[in-house]
Amino acid sequence: MAEVIKTFRDKETTNTYYVGDDYNGDRIDELTAKGYLSGDKVSAAAIEIDLDKLKVDEIRAKLDELGVAHDPKLKKPELLELLKQSAS
């Protein structure tokens, strides 16, 4: 298992993986070499910093993936706070 350090869409499964997700596929070595995965666990503080780098659409997609209802009019700071609350 490897941790995602850069958002990507798997070309084989078409699943989108976001920063902080765990990847269990067959292409760990390939994706690690390309800079999408890290074999090391990242601290919660580092993950939080990476969340701030997400685009609004990526945050909304992550909330949808987690099944968290959200107002489409929310701005990035409110969406980030909602995502951080739902992750804990």
What are the residue ranges spanned by the domains of the chain?
1-42, 54-88
What is the rounded average pLDDT of the residues 60-71?
Answer: 88
Q: Say if pTM beats, i.e. exceeds, 0.75.
A: no
What is the rounded average pLDDT of the residues 44-69?
Answer: 79
The answer for residues whose C-beta is within 8 angstroms of residue 78's C-beta and 6 or more apart is none
Instruction: Say yes or no to pLDDT of 16 above 90.
Output: yes
pLDDT at position 26: 83
* Mean of all residue pLDDT scores within the chain: 83
Give the largest Cα separation in the chain, rounded: 40
Model pLDDT for residues 27-46, shown as the tens digit of each residue = 888 898 888 888 654 445 44
